[in-house]
């Protein structure tokens, strides 16, 4: 196969005629509940581009929602997964084990924060990992309550819908939800009423007060939080918030779970985003970037907590599939060899000043934030009232798509444009993508 040219190429309308034909077939055959941001049908992807059936090549600022950090066809992922495919596709680790699963658990013990003894269990999706983290925390503490946060997102299964804050589209009409989930405030600096400098301590005090008064610390099994909130709007909790919650958990025997499914594996310029404030979680959930695009997820944590679940209590037919484990080992090899943490920090150093300069020119940008290659702009109709502008976000995304740049939106108010380029994207493509965003802003 020829190498995938690392260039933007727009040769038809986007989506083009072949994509539109496929979209008609898709609409007839696929449930409408499964959406697509941009219905171009993909033939190849890798590096910093996604190529479609019409011959267009889009710059990728989405990475399949923060998954293909090493690219969508990374050499080590393809090599290791292909070799594994030829050897065997599946045995079920719960029936007859294999080395790849153990090697992934060893790598997770090494890479995740803290030098305590750690163990892991592997699953298929992020939501499944979060569900299992809660199972493990309940087994360990003998308690039931779980604390989640405003703007949090943890998945689409029943328990993870309950943990997720936003109704539409994630929860609407799908209840009743799992019980014993309690939601408390998060330190959303940009929107904190008394200003970002007060958000960390004030939000922590409010959250802790609510947990103490409304739930009772002695009833809480787990506090589950994203160290950078993803779907909720790329919200970095203001400084001091995470350490205060982490300390509260430690003081009260509560299992502190960092959901690093979107923020983990070099995305923010560190192996895990919680390292930024020196947080050592009891359990950490990972997925997405872990395996270069193959479905794999994990719960990793203190050995004594992980071992609280009885033998046979955790698992699943496909959890830790051997091909996905081989891919994960290839992705981790790539992250180490190419120093993708440094690459993510470089992407931030390129993107943030340019986006800040755009914010000087365009009032619609209320905030520029994020770390590493997890960067966002929040769009507002009025900078003083900070009224969210989801229509501007949709229009901007559509303009970028037409120009051949794949971007995603997010946020509780739908007004955040988020940028998640593969960490291996070339500098030219990165700058060209930023040029397109600037042109799209000018055309709003
Ligand atoms: C922080 C976080 N947790 C959990 C999930 C759910 O992962 P999955 O879609 O693999 O079930 C996501 C997915 O976006 C996520 O960002």
In ligand 1, which atom is closest to the CA atom of 156?
11
Nearest residue (by CA) to ligand 1, atom 13, is 155
Sign of torsion, CA 426 55 39 286?
negative
**For residue 297, which atom of ligand 1 is closest to its CA?**
10
How many A from CA of 125 to the centre of ligand 1? 7
Structure tokens at 193: 């009423």
Per-residue confidence (pLDDT) for residue 304, from 0 to 100: 98
Instruction: Give burial (CB, 10 Å; 0-12/13-18/19+) of 86.
Output: exposed
Selected from 1.10.287.3510, 3.40.640.10, 3.20.20.70, 2.20.25.240, the CATH number assigned to the domain covering 76-337 reads: 3.40.640.10
CA nearest neighbour of 287 among 173, 132, 103: 132
Q: Is the dihedral of CA 36, 37, 39, 42 positive or negative?
A: negative
8 Å CB contact between 257 and 133 = yes
pLDDT of residue 315: 96
Which backbone phi and psi does 108 adopt, to 5 degrees?
A: -65, -40
Give the CATH architecture of domain 17-60+339-442. Alpha-Beta Complex (3.90)
CA 323 – ligand 1 centroid, Å: 21
202-259: pLDDT as tens digits: 999 999 999 999 999 999 999 999 999 999 999 999 999 999 999 999 999 999 999 9
Report how far ligand 1's centroid is from the alpha carbon of 55 (Å). Answer: 31
CA-nearest of 22, 412, 89 to 234 is 412
> Which residue CA neighbors atom 4 of ligand 1 most closely?
154
Handedness of CA 281, 282, 288, 291 (dihedral sign): positive
Give the CA distances from residue 308 to residues 76, 132, 137, 249, 311, in Å, rounded to whole numbers and listed in that order. Answer: 35, 12, 8, 18, 9
Chain centroid to Cα 266, Å, comes to 11
Beta carbon of 181 within 6 Å of any ligand 1 atom: no
What average pLDDT does the segment 390-397 reach? Answer: 98
> 115 CA distance to ligand 1 centroid (A)?
26
**pLDDT class of 115 with cuts at 50, 70, 90:** very high
Which tokens in the block code for residue 135? Answer: 């199972």
Write the pLDDT tens digit of every residue in 274-323: 999 999 999 999 999 999 999 999 999 999 999 999 999 999 999 999 99
Mutation pick for ligand 1 pocket among 68, 125, 273, 288 (CB with most ligand atoms within 8 Å): 288
DSSP 3-state of 272: coil
Domain ranges of the chain: 17-60+339-442, 76-337
Residue located via tokens 């051949």 = 404
Q: Which atom of ligand 1 is nearest to the CA of 260?
A: 1
Whether residue 154 has its Cβ less than 6 Å from ligand 1:
yes
Please state, in angstroms and rounded to a whole number, the distance separating the CA atoms of residues 42 and 91.
Answer: 31
CA of 65 to the centre of ligand 1 (A): 9
CA of 229, closest atom in ligand 1? 1
Choose one of 230, 233, 408, 411 to mutate for the ligand 1 pocket test, by most ligand atoms within 8 angstroms of C-beta. Answer: 230
Cα–Cα distances in angstroms (integers) from residue 111 to residues 104, 136, 163, 263, in the given order? 10, 21, 26, 14
Q: Is the CB of 125 under 6 A from ligand 1?
A: yes
Instruction: Examine domains 17-60+339-442 and 76-337 and report if their fold is the same.
Output: no
**Quick check: 288 and 66 in contact, CB under 8 A?**
yes
CA of 21 to the centre of ligand 1 (A): 30
Q: Name the residue among 394, 399, 356 with its Cα closest to residue 375.
A: 356
Q: Radius of gyration over alpha carbons of the chain, in Å?
A: 21
Beta bridge partners of 298: 122, 286
Q: Percentage of the chain surpassing pLDDT 90?
A: 99
Distance 188 CA to ligand 1 centre (A): 20
CA-nearest of 240, 245, 249, 251 to 276 is 240
Q: pLDDT tens, 148-206?
A: 999 999 999 999 999 999 999 999 999 999 999 999 999 999 999 999 999 999 999 99
- Average the pLDDT over 337-341 and give the result: 98
Q: What are the tokens at 157?
A: 């299964």
Is 230's C-beta closer than 6 angstroms to any atom of ligand 1?
yes
The preferred substitution site among 122, 148, 155, 267 for testing ligand 1, maximizing ligand atoms within 8 Å of CB, is 155
Q: Which residues neighbour 174 within 8 Å (Cβ) at sequence distance 6 or greater?
A: 161
Element containing residue 118 per DSSP (H, E): strand 118-123
pLDDT band at 1 (very low <50, low <70, confident <90, very high): low
Q: Answer whether 151 contacts ligand 1 (Cβ < 6 A).
A: no
**Per-residue pLDDT for 69 more than 90?**
yes
pLDDT higher than 70, residue 392? yes
- Whether the CB of 126 sits within 6 Å of ligand 1: yes
Residues 6+ apart with CB under 8 A from 23: 15, 39, 41
Establish whether residue 262 lines the binding site of ligand 1, counting it when its CB lies within 6 angstroms of any ligand atom: yes
- In the reported structure, the alpha carbon of residue 87 is separated from the centroid of ligand 1 by a whole-number distance in angstroms of 30
Distance CA 19, CA 53 (A): 6
| Rounded Cα gap, residues 287 and 305, in angstroms | 20
Q: What is the pLDDT of residues 4-60, one digit of tens each?
A: 999 999 999 999 999 999 999 999 999 999 999 999 999 999 999 999 999 999 999
State the Cα–Cα distance between residues 394 and 252, nearest whole angstrom: 44
Among 127, 232, 295, the mutation site with the greatest number of ligand 1 atoms within 8 A of its Cβ is 127
From the CA of 262, give the closest atom in ligand 1. 16
For 186, the token pair is 């998060």
Work out the end-to-end distance of the chain between its first and last CA atoms, rounded to an integer number of angstroms.
40
């Amino acid at each position: 196969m020829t190498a995938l040219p690392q260039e933007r190429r727009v040769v038809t309308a986007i989506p083009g005629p072949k994509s539109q034909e496929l979209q008609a077939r898709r609409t007839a055959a696929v449930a409408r509940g499964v959406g697509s941001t941009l219905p171009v049908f993909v033939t190849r992807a890798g590096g910093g581009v996604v190529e479609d059936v019409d011959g267009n090549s889009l710059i990728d600022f989405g990475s399949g929602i923060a998954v293909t950090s090493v690219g969508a066809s990374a050499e080590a992922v393809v090599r290791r997964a292909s070799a594994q495919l030829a050897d065997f596709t599946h045995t079920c680790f719960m029936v007859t084990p294999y080395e790849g699963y153990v090697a992934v658990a060893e790598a997770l013990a090494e890479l995740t924060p803290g030098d305590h003894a750690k163990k892991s269990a592997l699953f298929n999706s992020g939501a499944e990992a979060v569900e299992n983290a809660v199972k493990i925390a309940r087994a360990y503490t003998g308690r039931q309550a779980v604390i989640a946060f405003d703007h949090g997102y943890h998945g689409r299964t029943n328990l993870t819908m309950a943990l997720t804050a936003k109704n539409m589209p994630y929860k609407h009409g799908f209840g009743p939800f799992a019980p014993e989930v309690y939601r408390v405030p998060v330190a959303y600096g940009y929107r904190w009423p008394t200003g970002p400098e007060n958000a960390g301590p004030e939000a922590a005090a409010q959250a802790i007060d609510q947990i103490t008064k409304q739930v009772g610390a002695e009833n809480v099994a787990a506090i589950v939080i994203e160290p950078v909130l993803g779907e909720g709007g790329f919200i970095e909790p203001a400084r001091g918030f995470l350490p205060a919650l982490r300390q509260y958990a430690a003081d009260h025997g509560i299992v502190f779970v960092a959901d690093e499914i979107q923020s983990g594996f070099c995305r923010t310029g560190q192996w895990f985003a919680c390292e930024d404030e020196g947080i050592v979680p009891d359990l950490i959930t990972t997925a997405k970037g872990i395996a270069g695009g193959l479905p794999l997820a994990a719960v990793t944590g203190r050995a004594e907590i992980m071992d609280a679940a009885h033998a046979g209590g955790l698992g699943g037919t496909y959890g830790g599939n051997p091909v996905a484990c081989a891919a994960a080992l290839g992705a981790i090899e790539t992250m180490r060899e190419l120093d993708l943490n440094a690459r993510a920090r470089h992407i931030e150093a390129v993107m943030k000043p340019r986006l800040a300069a755009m914010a000087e020119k365009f009032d619609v940008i209320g905030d520029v934030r994020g770390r590493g290659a997890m960067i966002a702009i929040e769009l507002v109709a009025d900078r003083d009232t900070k009224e969210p502008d989801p229509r501007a976000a949709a229009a901007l995304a559509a303009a970028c798509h037409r120009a051949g740049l794949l971007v995603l939106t997010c946020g509780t108010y739908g007004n955040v444009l988020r940028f998640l380029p593969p960490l291996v994207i070339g500098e030219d493509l990165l700058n060209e993508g930023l040029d397109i965003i600037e042109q799209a802003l000018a055309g709003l």
